[in-house]
Amino acid sequence: MGIGWLEVTVAAFVLTVVSGAFLARGSNWLEPRFWKGFAIGGSLVMFTLLWILTFDTLKKISMGSERVPSPTVINHKIGYEYNADRRMYVPVIGEEEPFFGKKWSEEEAYRLITKGKLVIQSRNCMDCHTLLGNGAYYAPDLTKAWLDPKWETMIKPMLKVETREEAIATWLMNTDKYPTWTRRMPNLGLSKEEAQAVVAYLKFMSAIDTNGFPDHFGKTASK
């Protein structure tokens, strides 16, 4: 059986009562000592719980865990399919496909994705966009941007390029020339290497299982 929020809440409550009762033993409920026992017991239990949950979260958000793929995911096709059991869209990692014409080793892929993250931080893309829900709401959320159907249907034919990665990279370097929305994205002067790294980061991020976030994206993406 998996340990979910309900088990954790019940366990924290029981432990608080048990440790409180132990610390307050022998005192009457009208005495301050009684309540002090529960306050100390509760604080100790919650501090321990926070500590455990922090490490549990770190494990769950690291690359190569159940929901966050390893960097080599950029060598694979990424699909987005409705999962009837979970009642949400989930990324599906498919067969291998070259990324910018080659297969990237784990080390190379990690370096490229990390560079993409640094480019995104250096240009403050979050001033306008959200990534995994963090940032501003001026422009679309970028968590699943790699899966946006517009790259295949609109941008690829318009730029006359062969692959989706080239389409996104070229578009990112020429946002002022090819607006696709009522709000415009400024040209942030990305070099070719920077644009490719950003695309790797976006592809990696789209493969993260985010419990269907952003909501309703799947309906557009699977059309």
Please give the Cα distance from 65 to 76 (Å, whole number).
Answer: 17
Q: Say if CB 74 and CB 215 are below 8 A apart.
A: no
- Residues contacting residue 57 through CB under 8 Å, at least 6 positions apart: none
Interface with ligand HEC (CB under 6 A), residue total: 22
Within positions 170 to 209, which residues make up the interface with ligand HEC, using CB under 6 A? 179-181, 183-186, 188, 198
DSSP-assigned beta bridge partners for residue 135? 130
Residue number, 87 or 183, with CB nearest to ligand HEC: 183
CB of 91 to ligand HEC, least distance (A): 15
Residue number, 129 or 156, with CB nearest to ligand HEC: 129
Label the pairing between strands 76-83 and 88-96.
antiparallel
Decide if residue 169 touches ligand HEC (CB under 6 A): no
Residue number, 145 or 200, with CB nearest to ligand HEC: 145
CB atoms within 10 A of CB 219: 10
Decide if residue 125 touches ligand HEC (CB under 6 A): yes
CB of 41 to ligand HEC, least distance (A): 49
